[in-house]
Amino acid sequence: MAIELNGPALRQARSLIRDGKVVRDERDDWSEAAPTADDENAFIEREGWTAFSHWHLGIDRSANPETKQAYSFPYGDFDRVHRSGVISGESRAGQYDHDEIERELKKLLELIDAEGS
């Protein structure tokens, strides 16, 4: 399993932040804010796998792209970027040595905090 940075997801996250589609919540809020499995399934049914992939900064290209297993490091609720999701992802990426993803999540957090000032 080789997880790499999902470029289209990163571009979408940056765009959403610039457009002000951000929830400026705190780190511990992600456990409540993260989409549930039912939310994910409904989104996939409505929007498809490509749209689902754009909400995850990690992608495992060796996995079937039409499975949730292929995607990691979610950052939002399918509508807005959550600051708590970015923080949670950054911490997890660092913990598992996904340096590029960790770096980009840190930049997203800085962008969120700068936009909110």
Distance CA 63, CA 9 (A): 17
Give the global pTM: 0.94
| Mean pLDDT score across all residues of the chain | 96
Task: List, as one string, the DSSP characters of the chain.
Answer: --EEE-HHHHHHHHHHHHTT-EE---GGGHHHHSPPHHHHHHHHHHH-HHHHHTTEEEEETTS-TTSGGGEEEE-BSSSSEEHHHHHHHHHHHHHTT-HHHHHHHHHHHHHHHHHT-
Residue pLDDT, tens place only, 19-55: 999 999 988 899 999 999 999 999 999 999 999 999 9
Number of domains present in the structure of the chain: 1
Parent domain of 30? 3-115
